[in-house]
A and B are shown apart, each in its own frame.
Chain A
């Protein structure tokens, strides 16, 4: 069984601040790392799927990096906005169509 850990559990920042959080995962049997943005009572929204060591992906003000050798990924948000408030979930996948093993998420609150 894979254990995916996310830190911090929650984060409060002011509008305009840049922030980042961590996802760590077992590096053995790694296939892909997924990041999702999730607001309660809605469906998780896919942000990134990352597979290669050293991968870096960007979507607007959000970017992510991947280190498969040491088993961690960082998610960065530049110039946080109130609409960025959500829970950010990472999940590791152990095969090409394997199930996702989720971390418990980082809940981000951005104050105007």
Chain B
């Protein structure tokens, strides 16, 4: 598609439950990035993919967080045993090769109760 599509828009989970977020990058883009926006304007990098391969996972919490980008499927970000501090807006972005901007989706607002 022409836009990065993230689903769902809003996800509510009880503490300890699993949460799974999805991202369909722009068709033809090789790179996918996940960012977590916790405080008002702070975007924190989590993980990036080049096609289905992890490119950089230095921002990913070691426990509970995992992500995949499989061929012919939306990319996913999964959080096991959610905690209150996981409440955030999770943004996905994709980009083409070279000096192009990262194009962002509308985000998924995750609320942990």
Interface of A toward B, CB cutoff 8 Å: 32, 34, 36, 41-44, 46, 49, 51, 87, 89, 91, 96-102, 104-105, 107
The answer to whether B100 touches A49 (Cβ under 8 A) is: yes
Instruction: Categorize the interface residue count of chain B.
Output: 20 to 34
Query: Taking each of A96, A101, A102, A105, which has the highest tally of chain B beta carbons within 10 Å of its own beta carbon?
Result: A102
Distance in angstroms between the alpha carbons of A107 and B41 in the assembled complex: 9
The answer to whether A51 touches B41 (Cβ under 8 A) is: no
**CB of A106, distance to nearest CB on chain B (Å):** 9
Chain A proximity mask over B44-73: 1 for CB below 8 Å, otherwise 0? 010010100001100100000000000000
Is B101 positioned at the interface, with any CB of A under 8 Å from its CB?
yes
Contacts of A32 in B (CB 8 A): 99
**CB of A85, distance to nearest CB on chain B (Å):** 15
The 3 closest A-B pairs by CB, nearest first: A46-B101, A99-B45, A105-B41
**Cβ 8 A contact of A51, one of B45, B95, B99:** B99
The answer to whether A43 touches B102 (Cβ under 8 A) is: no
Contacts of B55 in A (CB 8 A): 97
**CB of A2, distance to nearest CB on chain B (Å):** 11
